[in-house]
Structure 1
Amino acid sequence: MGLRATLDFLLYDWLQVEALNGRERFADHSRETFDAVLDTCERIARDKYAPFNRTVDTEEPRFDGEKVILPACTHAARLAYAESGMLSAAQDYAIGGMQLPYTLESAANSFFAAASVSIGSNMLTSGNASALMAHGSAMQKKVFALNEFNGRWAGTMCLSEPQAGSSLSDIATRATLDGEGAQTDALGPRYRLKGNKMWISAGDHELTENIVHLVLAKIPGPDGQPVPGVKGISLFIVPKQLVDSEGALTGERNDVALAGLNHKLGWRGTTNTLLNFGEGKYPVRGAAGAIGYLVGEPGRGLQCMFHMMNEARISIGMAATMLGLAGYYASLDYARNRPQGRPMGAGGKDATQPQVRIIEHADVKRMLLAQKSYGEGALALNLYCARLVDEQHTAGPQAADEARLLLEVLTPIAKSWPSEFCLEANSLAIQIHGGYGYTRDFQVEQYWRDNRLNMIHEGTHGIQAMDLLGRKVLMEKGRGLQLLVARIQASIQAAEAAPLLVVEAGALAAALRQALAATEAAWSTGQPGEALANAVPYMQALGHVVLAWMWLDVARAALRADAALPANAGRLAAARYFFRYELPKIGAWLEVVSRRDMTCALMDEAGF
Structure 2
Amino acid sequence: MPAYQAPLRDFDFVLNELIKVQDTLPSLPGYEEATQDIFSSYLEAAAQFCENELAPLNRPADEEGCTFDPATKSVTTPVGFKEAYKQFCELGFTALDCDPAYGGQGMPKTLSFPIIEMQCSANVAWSMYPGLSHGAYSAIHAHGSDEQKATYLPHLVDGSWTGTMCLTEPHCGTDLGLLKTKAEPNGDGSYSISGTKIFISAGEHDMADNIIHLVLARLPDAPKDVKGISLFIVPKFHADGSRNSVYCGSLEHKMGIKANATAVINLDGARGYLIGEANKGLACMFTMMNAARLGCGMQGLGLGEAAFQGALTYAKDRLQMRAMAGAKFPEKAADPIIVHPDVRRMLLTQKAYTEAGRALAALLALQLDIEEKHPDADARQDAADLVALLTPVAKAFMTDNGYTAANLGMQVFGGHGFIREWGMEQLVRDCRISQIYEGTNGIQAIDLLGRKVLLDQGQKLRKFTKQIHKFCQANEGNAQLAEFVAPLAKLLKDIGDITMGIGMASMKDRDEAGAAASDYLRLLGHLTYGWLWARMAEVAYAKLETGGDDFYKAKIATARFYFAKLLPEVEALKATIKGGAKPLMTLADEHFVF
Does the pair score TM above 0.5?
yes
Equivalent residue, structure 2, for 1:467: 447
Moved over 6 A (4+): 348-353
Match of 2:413 in 1: 433
Amino acid corresponding to residue 269 of structure 1 in structure 2: A
The answer (yes or no) to whether the contact 1:192–1:290 under 8 Å persists in 2 is yes
Do 1:339 and 1:357's aligned partners in 2 also have CA atoms closer than 8 Å?
yes
Q: Does structure 1 residue 124 correspond to structure 2 residue 132? A: yes
Distance 1:341 1:350 in 2: 11
Residue 175 (structure 2) aligns with: 167
- CA offsets 1:262-296 (integer angstroms, 9 cap, x no match): 11111111100111111xxxxxxxxxx11110001
Corresponding residue number in structure 2 for 1:152: 160
Asked if residue 276 in structure 1 is aligned to residue 266 in structure 2, the reply is yes
C-alpha separation in 2, matches of 1:349 and 1:30: 46
Letter in 1 for 2:224: P
Q: Give the match for residue 104 of structure 2.
A: 97
CA distance in 1, matches of 2:142, 2:329: 68
CA drift at 1:498: 3.2
**Equivalent residues in 2 for 1:537-556, closer than 5 Å:** 537-556=519-538
- Which amino acid is 2:552 matched to? N
For residues 475-554 of structure 1, the aligned pairs below 5 Å read 475-525=455-505, 526=507, 527-554=509-536
Instruction: Verify: 1:214 aligned to 2:221, yes or no.
Output: no
Question: Once the two structures are superposed, what CA deviation does each residue of 1:91-118 show, in whole Å capped at 9, x if it has no partner?
Answer: 2323222221111111122211111111
Tell me the residue number matched to 2:574.
590
CA contact (8 A) 1:474 1:481 kept: no
Q: Supply the distance in 1 between the matched residues of 2:193 and 2:406 (Cα, whole angstroms).
A: 42
- Maintained 8 Å contact 2:126/2:259: yes
Could you tell me how far apart the structure 1 residues matched to 2:261 and 2:325 are? 54
Task: State the partner residue of 1:246.
Answer: none
Instruction: Specify the code of the residue in structure 2 equivalent to 1:261.
Output: L
Whether the 8 Å CA contact 1:41–1:109 is kept in 2: the answer is no
Find the counterpart in structure 1 of residue 87 from structure 2. 80
Q: Per-residue displacement from partner, 1:69-99 (whole Å, max 9, x unpaired)?
A: 1123100111111122222211232322222
The answer as to whether partners of 2:28 and 2:370 remain within 8 angstroms in 1 is no
SS in 1 for 2:255: coil
Q: What is the Cα deviation at residue 352 of structure 1? A: 9.9
Report the number of matched residues: 579
1:217, CA displacement in angstroms? 0.7
Query: Residue 202 of structure 1 aligns with which residue?
Result: 202
Structure 1: segments with no counterpart, 5+ residues = 185-189, 244-249, 279-288
**How far apart are the structure 2 equivalents of 1:79 and 1:495?**
50
- TM superposition shift of 1:488: 1.3
Q: What per-residue deviation string (whole Å, max 9, x for no partner) do you get for residues 410-451 of structure 1?
A: 000011101101111111111111111111121111111110
Segments of 5+ residues of structure 2 without an aligned counterpart are: none
Q: Which AA in structure 2 matches 1:11?
A: L
What does residue 451 of structure 1 align with? Answer: 431
1:261 maps to 251
1:229 alignment partner AA: D
The equivalent of 2:51 in structure 1 is 46
Give the TM-score taking structure 1 as reference length. Answer: 0.92
Would the aligned equivalents of 1:235 and 1:301 in 2 still touch at CA under 8 Å?
yes
The alpha carbon displacement at 1:607 in A equals 3.0
What is the CA deviation profile of residues 530-565 of structure 1, one whole-angstrom value per residue up to 9, with x for unaligned ones? 221231111111111111111111211222222752
**Secondary structure at the counterpart of residue 282 of structure 2:** helix
| 2:207 is aligned with 1:227 | no
Secondary structure of the residue aligned to 1:265 is: coil
CA distance in 2: counterparts of 1:88 and 1:598, whole angstroms: 52
Give the structure 2 partner of residue 58 of structure 1.
63
Q: Distance in 1 between matches of 2:143 and 2:477?
A: 47
Amino acid at match of 2:188: Q
146 and 497 in structure 1: CA distance in 2 versus 1, 3 angstrom threshold: farther
Q: Is the 8 A contact 1:129 1:146 kept in 2?
A: no
Partner letter of residue 91 of structure 2?
S
> Compared with structure 1, are the counterparts of its residues 351 and 388 closer, same or farther at alpha carbon in structure 2 (3 Å cutoff)?
closer
Q: Give 1:353 shift.
A: 7.7
Matches within 5 A, 1:593-604: 593-604=577-588
The equivalent of 1:23 in structure 2 is 28
Structure 1 residue matching 2:226: 3-state secondary structure = coil
The range that moved more, 491-500 or 84-93, is 491-500
Could you give the per-residue CA deviations for residues 124-167 of structure 1, whole angstroms, max 9, x where no partner exists? Answer: 10111111011000011111122111111000000111101221
Alpha-carbon distance between aligned partners in 1 of 2:100 and 2:163, rounded to the nearest angstrom: 21
Any conservation in 2 of the 1:230–1:302 contact (CA below 8 Å)?
yes
Structure 1 CA distance, aligned partners of 2:279 and 2:579?
Answer: 39
- The secondary structure found in structure 2 opposite 1:199 is strand
C-alpha distance in structure 2 between counterparts of 1:137 and 1:33, whole Å = 33
Report the alpha carbon displacement of residue 343 of structure 1 after superposing the two structures with TM.
2.2
Partner of 1:241: 237
Alignment of 1:367-386 (within 5 A): 367-386=346-365
Q: How far, CA to CA, are the matches of 1:594 and 1:339 in structure 2?
A: 46
Alpha-carbon shift at residue 349 of structure 1 (Å)? 11
Please report how far the alpha carbon of residue 337 of structure 1 lies from its aligned counterpart in structure 2 after TM superposition: 1.1
Q: Is the 8 A contact 2:237 2:243 kept in 1?
A: yes
State the SS of the aligned residue for 1:24.
Answer: coil
In structure 2, distance between residues paired with 1:60 and 1:585: 39
After superposition, give the CA deviation of every residue in 1:486-538 in whole Å (9 maximum; x if it has no partner): 01112222343432211211101111222221111112131322221231111
- Give the distance between the partners of 2:83 and 2:558, measured in 1 at CA: 38
Question: Could you say what secondary structure the match of 2:256 adopts?
Answer: coil
Counterpart of 2:474, as a letter, is A
Question: What is the TM-score when the length of structure 2 is the normalising length?
Answer: 0.94
Cα distance in 2, alignment partners of residues 123 and 209 from structure 1: 17
1:312 is displaced (CA, Å) by 1.1
Distance 2:260 2:292 in 1: 15
CA contact (8 A) 1:465 1:539 kept: yes
SS of 1:116's partner is helix
Q: 1:9 to 1:351 in 2, by over 3 A?
A: closer
Distance of aligned partners of 1:353 and 1:198 in 2 relative to their CA distance in 1, 3 Å threshold? closer
Q: Secondary structure at the match of 1:220?
A: coil
Match of 1:576 among 560, 564, 567: 560
8 Å contact from structure 2 (residues 61, 79) kept in 1: no
Rounded to whole Å, the distance in 2 between the matches of 1:352 and 1:123 is 50
Q: Distance in 2 between matches of 1:256 and 1:414?
A: 34
Describe the shift of the 1:291–1:436 C-alpha distance in structure 2 as closer, same or farther (beyond 3 A). Answer: same
Aligned-pair Cα RMSD in Å? 1.8
Q: CA deviation at 1:2?
A: 5.8
Q: Hey, what's the Cα distance between the residues in 1 that align with 2:234 and 2:415? A: 48
Q: Aligned residues: percent identity?
A: 35
* Cα distance in structure 2, aligned partners of 1:75 and 1:603: 53
- Secondary structure at the residue paired with 1:458? coil
Q: Is the 8 A contact 1:50 1:116 kept in 2?
A: yes
CA separation of 1:387 and 1:475: change in aligned 2, threshold 3 A? farther
The correspondence of residues 346-365 of structure 1 with structure 2, limited to 5 A, is 354-365=333-344
Q: What letter corresponds to residue 234 of structure 1 in structure 2?
A: S
What is the aligned partner in structure 2 of residue 338 from structure 1? 318
CA distance in 1, matches of 2:325, 2:294: 48
Distance in 1 between the 2:58 and 2:550 partners? Answer: 31
